[in-house]
Structure 1
């Protein structure tokens, strides 16, 4: 009988301990979730992948200050936890925590393999924050904070000092939609193809050509009239009606490419992003992010309220049991018309008498936002991202 009582008592103690431990585990899991919601609600732009297993914290995050605050709050819980969480950038990078894109357009993917979904693109000369490596692939964060994977073949890894040295060099911007850097002036041995917005350093001049250097130290020659000094290019960028319309129409017919943000192919939000980038502004990557910027100017299809450059958003309206779903974006160009990438870059109209009438988009219209001349946390100037004080 005594043995039975001791056994029952021991079982009760185990149950109490297990219950207490479970309570603390649930408490820590809730704390993890609270921090995720506060500091990394959008996994496209922030990492908070943390979990608890057998009194051990595992996972990774790029939110250092938030993680330090989390650990301090964790100390208030009467249970010991050890941490195996990797704080990014990874120490395995050995200080090479920056990179610059070395090819005309780098494809940046959702997973570290070429067969993975294309998430976004970055142009030559774009600085990238490097978070960690996986073989020949690197998890990087673009200047608009988008996080995804790029093949090392398209970037030059750099330390912070090496990046500052690259910043300090005299630069030029390629201005036509497409072109090339040649091995010698007037010779057609190609060093690299180029697209509008590519940034290179300049070395010398010969026969109306400029010798340029790519971020990986390759050298080539580009016609002088295809280049503009970086300072002149930055100072001449303006989101005027004429500039926005001319830039957008110059890309008419460019094929739709999921994940594309360049003249080589673009999705709907990649198209609007490219229009604004070539006119000096950096806006968020996806339509579901762009819709949170700027000032709302219409939800009732009152087209007279719209101005050139306004962004029109399309999708599925919210219902009692479903959130609003934003799936498409285009830019207003006036005269009841907007330009967008669907299948190809095209012009659509809300005028039933127009040959470009687009009943499909009209039926899924959500709202219009204005980012031109509006203060918005997610909209930056190009000069804010291509300069040393961004470090």
Structure 2
């Protein structure tokens, strides 16, 4: 099968574990996410996200076709939908699309972006990730998502899982992280001790089998922002995250990684 490429043409599209509407949602595509098409089964296509190589099945009608050259151009996307609740695109037929922060704006030109041949007018100012300052703006960017509910596989403003939250925050600073917590734990530089933590370091937590199952962003050596029930700030120490509502430790600290010196 020849390589084929597509781009997400709706605000958010589920990626499923199997080619069925009943299958588990393993991740999501946001508007402008580019994919390689791996296999086709009637209306279900197996795709690989060009940003993080994550694979899943989706309804092909949520994609627009693009060329390999367009695929590469989106790979280098630097301008995104900003932190905000009114990121509105107007399509050629006048209907509106409401984008989550961090969504791509492919082929942005003169106030318009494109999903394949479809043209969309921006009704907001795009955010340029190349001018964002990690050390200055990391905390406020992460806190923008406070109270977004936890959603397994979620990557959008109305539902995020732990790794989707971390990936989205870092994308706003043009730092590419993998999709799952266990994959993200393989990136970055190791921080030896909790006392050495800087704001923006990323903490990983394991289960009884030693598998990395949770991730969050350190705000200080004793505070972490993470998605668990919702995006929230909790105390952390050498044992892990202490949940005040439950009155106990809920996540056992494994390692801490640094992505920005």
Q: Counterparts of 1:73-222 in structure 2 under 5 Å?
A: 91=1, 95=2, 97-142=4-49, 143-161=51-69, 163=71, 173-178=80-85, 179-182=87-90, 190-198=95-103, 199-202=105-108, 204=110, 210=111, 212-222=112-122
Q: CA RMSD in A?
A: 2.9
Task: Report Cα offsets for 1:6-39 as digits up to 9, x if no partner.
Answer: xxxxxxxxxxxxxxxxxxxxxxxxxxxxxxxxxx
Query: CA 1:247 to 1:172, structure 2 compared with 1: closer, same or farther past 3 Å?
Result: closer
Instruction: Tell me if 1:291 matches 2:203.
Output: no
Q: Which has the larger radius of gyration?
A: 1
**Number of equivalences:** 251
State the structure with bigger RCO (CA 8 A, min sep 6), 1 or 2: 2
- In the alignment, the residues of structure 2 paired with residue 120 and residue 267 of structure 1 have an alpha-carbon distance, to the nearest angstrom, of 9
Return the match for 1:263 from 157, 165, 168.
157
2:211 alignment partner in structure 1: 325
Consecutive unaligned residues in structure 1, runs of 5 or more: 1-90, 205-209, 318-322, 374-391
Which is helix-richer, 1 or 2?
A: 1
Q: Counterparts of 1:47-58 in structure 2 under 5 Å?
A: none
- TM-score normalised by length of structure 1: 0.58
- In the alignment, the residues of structure 2 paired with residue 147 and residue 130 of structure 1 have an alpha-carbon distance, to the nearest angstrom, of 10
CA contact (8 A) 1:156 1:216 kept: yes
2:173 aligned counterpart, secondary structure: coil
Instruction: Tell me if 1:315 matches 2:206.
Output: yes
Task: Report Cα offsets for 1:274-315 as digits up to 9, x if no partner.
Answer: 1111111111111111112222224xxx53211111111122
1:276 alignment partner in structure 2: 170
CA contact (8 A) 2:78 2:174 kept: no
CA contact (8 A) 2:80 2:129 kept: no
CA contact (8 A) 2:89 2:99 kept: yes
- In the alignment, the residues of structure 2 paired with residue 109 and residue 122 of structure 1 have an alpha-carbon distance, to the nearest angstrom, of 11
Displacement after TM superposition at 1:357 (Å): 4.8
- In the alignment, the residues of structure 2 paired with residue 259 and residue 195 of structure 1 have an alpha-carbon distance, to the nearest angstrom, of 15
Displacement after TM superposition at 1:337 (Å): 0.5
Query: CA 1:138 to 1:238, structure 2 compared with 1: closer, same or farther past 3 Å?
Result: farther
Query: CA 1:339 to 1:361, structure 2 compared with 1: closer, same or farther past 3 Å?
Result: farther
CA contact (8 A) 1:350 1:357 kept: no
- TM-score normalised by length of structure 2: 0.83
1:306 alignment partner in structure 2: 197
Displacement after TM superposition at 1:237 (Å): 3.5
Return the match for 1:236 from 96, 109, 131.
131
**Which contiguous aligned blocks of 4+ residues in structure 1 show a shift greater than 4 angstroms?**
161-164, 355-359
Consecutive unaligned residues in structure 2, runs of 5 or more: none
Which is strand-richer, 1 or 2?
A: 2
- In the alignment, the residues of structure 2 paired with residue 287 and residue 305 of structure 1 have an alpha-carbon distance, to the nearest angstrom, of 22
- In the alignment, the residues of structure 1 paired with residue 70 and residue 131 of structure 2 have an alpha-carbon distance, to the nearest angstrom, of 28
